[in-house]
């Protein structure tokens, strides 16, 4: 286990760090109606470093009213796609130009390593640029019956979109929802995660500078059970896009049902990485190390179950454990750090409890607790590897959402498939093999919304993103995002004589 030189005692604090965060409603920063706030902790010291306004139903009502007014009376939904696209490109330019500052604040607030936070900031800019281009290039269907009928499709923005985002890579995941929601002409109310509200507070200034009309973007901070719940239950919010854990997704599903809302939910994952004996082992080890330990292991698509064919199992486990032990843990702001501090002491306790469970279920081959030499403050967890994990073990079945991986052997393709599909989740999967036929057939049989063959998680923004089973409902990405944030209206035009069956003329009374 290695660690960087900069530890919690020498914590770097970004310049001009705010001590309070407000809501942003109808173009203005405002406190909660009742004045309530909540504490936000620095994950390296676990000390409160700012107070954020704690939104409740009254605050959500104000934000939705502003967004609804901007939708019904404002220019945004009525702009030409090219006009909206120009503003989205300006947003992307601003995010790119401030990437270092965004990354610094994101890393401080979330505990993400600074280099990875920088990559997420740049990805946020690319999300806006992608949808800015897509709405200009977008085409819709036309269906023709020559001389008789023409049918075409109109796409129309739906209204106020409620966006509820998680605390892992918060700024990037906010952009993933904000980009298509705004591009298609909707107005939005964003409810960021309470653990990490800092970077979300920067959107207001970016949007104002880019020329987004007042009321189009609104931000309400607060707890999920207060602000998030009020947003889901608001009758004037027809769309909810949520990223988070599966249990919260079930609650949202139930609470949105009476209103028949459109839902897009990307939920939890326990994604398998399947390594066959004919795989490039070095590439597979590098990718699966990165796949579970990047972003501190706090990622929904983490390959947290590695299934390895028996012929190469012992070699894989030995090499994997040795490399995991060399992963650099340290202060999130140090560029050498590969795993930083987990986001919050509550989450740290959860991950550590799973590590203790794992010690009674499997063979610990790397990590297993707080890294050596680290002070007792801060949410640091050593990259932890369990081998010989049974498929009925809790660490095999349940999402841990931290730098913890379970490795399990298999003998046949059929056994590997049963193990891969043997959990309630179905978000992502990774397959490592040099057999082309096996690669395609196996990936098709896996119950997962996304599969990467001989690859780490490299996302093409045009492709569908989403899961099956307990991992989600619906897909976003490319045209799937356009579909979610728009109504598709079919228009039918008769080009010839009207084809009207005649009722009521067969026995007209004589006069």
The catalytic residue positions are: 266, 300
φ, ψ of residue 144 in degrees (nearest 5): -120, 140
DSSP of 120-158: HHHHHHHHHHHHHHHHHH----EEEETTTEEEEEEEEE-
- Tell me the pairing of strands 450-453 and 428-432: parallel
Residue whose structure tokens are 């009020």: 230
User: How many Cα atoms are found within 13 Å in the side-chain-facing hemisphere of 496?
Assistant: 8
Give CA separation, 332 vs 369, 384, 385, in Å: 18, 18, 22
Say if residue 379 is exposed, middle or buried (CB neighbours under 10 Å; 0-12, 13-18, 19+).
Answer: buried
Closest CA to 201 of 219, 226, 176, 174: 219
Distance, CA of 337 to CA of 321 (rounded, Å): 19
Largest distance between two CA atoms of the chain: 106
Closest CA to 111 of 352, 333, 304: 333
DSSP of 268-302: ----EEEE-TTS-HHHHHHHHHHHHHGGGG--TT-
Distance, CA of 153 to CA of 243 (rounded, Å): 30
Other CB atoms within a 10 A radius of the CB of residue 260 amount to 8
Other CB atoms within a 10 A radius of the CB of residue 69 amount to 15
Distance, CA of 298 to CA of 292 (rounded, Å): 8
Q: Chain centroid to CA 141: how far?
A: 30
Residue length of the chain: 511
Other CB atoms within a 10 A radius of the CB of residue 501 amount to 4
Distance, CA of 241 to CA of 511 (rounded, Å): 64
């Amino acid at each position: 286990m290695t660690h960087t030189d900069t530890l919690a005692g020498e914590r770097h604090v970004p310049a001009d760090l705010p001590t309070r965060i407000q809501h942003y409603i109808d173009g203005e920063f405002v406190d909660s109606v009742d004045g309530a706030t909540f504490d936000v902790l620095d994950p390296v010291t676990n000390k409160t470093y700012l107070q954020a306004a704690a939104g409740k139903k009254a605050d959500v009502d104000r934000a939705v009213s502003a967004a609804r007014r901007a939708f019904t009376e404002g220019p945004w939904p009525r702009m030409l796609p090219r006009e909206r696209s120009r503003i989205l490109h300006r947003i992307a330019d601003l995010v790119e130009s401030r990437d270092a500052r965004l990354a610094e604040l994101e890393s401080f607030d979330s505990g993400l390593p600074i280099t990875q936070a920088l990559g997420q900031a740049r990805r946020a800019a690319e999300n806006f640029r992608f949808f800015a281009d897509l709405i200009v290039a977008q085409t819709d269907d036309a269906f023709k019956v020559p001389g008789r009928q023409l049918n075409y499709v109109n796409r129309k923005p739906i209204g106020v979109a409620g966006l509820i985002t998680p605390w892992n890579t918060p700024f990037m995941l906010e952009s993933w929802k904000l980009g298509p929601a705004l591009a298609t002409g909707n107005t939005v109310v964003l409810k960021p995660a309470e653990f990490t509200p800092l970077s979300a507070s920067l959107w207001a200034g970016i949007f104002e500078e880019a020329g987004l009309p007042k009321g189009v973007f609104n931000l309400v901070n607060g707890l999920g059970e207060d602000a998030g719940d009020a947003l889901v239950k608001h009758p004037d919010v027809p769309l909810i896009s949520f990223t988070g854990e599966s249990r919260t997704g079930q609650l949202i599903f139930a609470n949105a049902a009476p209103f028949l809302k459109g839902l897009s939910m990307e939920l939890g994952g326990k994604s398998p990485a399947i390594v066959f004996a004919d795989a490039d082992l070095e590439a597979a080890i590098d990718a699966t190390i990165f796949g579970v330990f990047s972003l501190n292991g706090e990622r929904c698509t983490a390959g947290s179950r590695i299934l390895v064919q028996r012929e190469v199992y012992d070699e894989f486990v030995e090499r994997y454990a040795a490399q995991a032990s060399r992963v650099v843990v340290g202060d999130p702001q140090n560029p050498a750090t590969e795993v930083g501090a987990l986001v919050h002491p509550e989450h740290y306790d959860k991950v550590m409890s799973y590590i203790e469970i794992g010690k009674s279920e499997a063979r610990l081959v790397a990590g297993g607790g707080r890294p050596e030499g680290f002070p007792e403050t801060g949410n640091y967890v050593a990259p932890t590897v369990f081998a010989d994990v049974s498929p009925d073990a809790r660490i095999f079945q349940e999402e841990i959402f931290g730098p913890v991986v379970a490795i399990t052997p298999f003998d046949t393709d059929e056994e590997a498939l049963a193990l891969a599909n043997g959990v309630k989740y179905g978000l992502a999967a990774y397959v490592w093999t040099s057999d082309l036929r096996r690669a395609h057939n196996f990936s098709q049989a896996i119950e997962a919304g996304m599969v990467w063959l001989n690859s780490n998680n490299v996302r093409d923004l045009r492709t569908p993103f989403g899961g099956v089973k307990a991992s989600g409902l619906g897909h976003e990405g490319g045209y799937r995002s356009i579909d979610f944030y728009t109504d598709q209206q079919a228009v039918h035009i008769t080009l010839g004589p009207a084809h009207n069956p005649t009722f009521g003329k067969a026995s007209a009374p004589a006069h």
